[in-house]
């Protein structure tokens, strides 16, 4: 299996984690950023209405895949906070203003600006829930 095919399969599996419903069309719980040009419409613009979580990840990153399941569940529970996946192998320029030294990295956006970050896959569900919701 080629790396590109594996990445596509993972992307489809990720999108299949959260069931689609009429509610999900307003605020998808997880989405793979289609292209760098879509960052404004998928992240910045929606962040004026709700917190948006960006996950810097890679298809080959096991910790990224392990973190994604709990992250999607928590985001769905926390008022349908959208999660946008940015592949660091092909879309890193989107996050050019943010120094990424390891993955996975979660970056919270609000009002068009990054407002917090959480690095690493070894976090408790409580810590992850607190980050996603923006609780102090």
Residue range 55-72, pLDDT digits in tens: 999 989 999 988 988 888
On whether residue 56 sits in a domain, the answer given is: yes
Band of pLDDT at residue 4, cut at 50, 70 and 90: very low
Report the C-alpha gap between 5 and 8 in whole angstroms. 5
Band of pLDDT at residue 30, cut at 50, 70 and 90: low
On whether residue 117 sits in a domain, the answer given is: yes
Q: Is 94 left (phi over 0), alpha (psi -120 to 50) or beta?
A: alpha
Beta strand pairing call for 31-32 and 83-87: parallel
Question: Please, what is the average pLDDT of the chain?
Answer: 76
On whether residue 23 sits in a domain, the answer given is: no
Q: Dig out the tokens for 79 from the structure.
A: 């008022």
Domain count, the chain: 1
**Given this model, what pLDDT does residue 115 score?**
94
Q: What is the pTM of this model?
A: 0.74
- Starting at the edge strand found earlier in the chain, the sheet holding 31-32 runs 31-32, 83-87, 52-57, 105-110, 113-119
Lowest mean pLDDT of 19-33, 72-86, 113-127, name the range.
19-33
On whether residue 45 sits in a domain, the answer given is: yes
**Given this model, what pLDDT does residue 96 score?**
77
In 3D space, the residue among 136, 13, 11, 135 whose CA is nearest the CA of residue 85 turns out to be: 11
Which domain, by its residues, includes 84? 3-17+28-133
On whether residue 22 sits in a domain, the answer given is: no
**Given this model, what pLDDT does residue 62 score?**
92
On whether residue 48 sits in a domain, the answer given is: yes
Q: Dig out the tokens for 7 from the structure.
A: 């990445």
Q: Is the pLDDT of residue 16 over 70?
A: no
Compute the average pLDDT of residues 3-10: 36
On whether residue 102 sits in a domain, the answer given is: yes
CATH of the domain at 125: 3.40.30.10
Report the C-alpha gap between 70 and 86 in whole angstroms. 18
């Amino acid at each position: 299996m080629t790396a590109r095919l594996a990445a596509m399969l993972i992307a489809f599996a990720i999108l299949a984690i959260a069931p689609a419903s009429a509610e999900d069309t307003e605020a998808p719980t997880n989405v793979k950023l289609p292209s760098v040009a879509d960052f404004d419409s998928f992240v910045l613009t929606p962040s004026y209405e709700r917190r948006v979580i960006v996950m810097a990840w890679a298809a080959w990153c096991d910790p990224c895949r392990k973190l994604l399941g709990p992250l999607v569940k928590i985001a769905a529970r926390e008022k349908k906070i959208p999660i946008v996946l940015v592949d660091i192998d092909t879309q890193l320029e989107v996050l050019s203003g943010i120094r990424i030294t390891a993955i996975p990295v979660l970056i919270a956006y609000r009002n068009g600006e990054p407002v917090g970050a959480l690095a690493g896959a070894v976090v408790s569900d409580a810590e992850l829930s607190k980050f996603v919701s923006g609780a102090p």
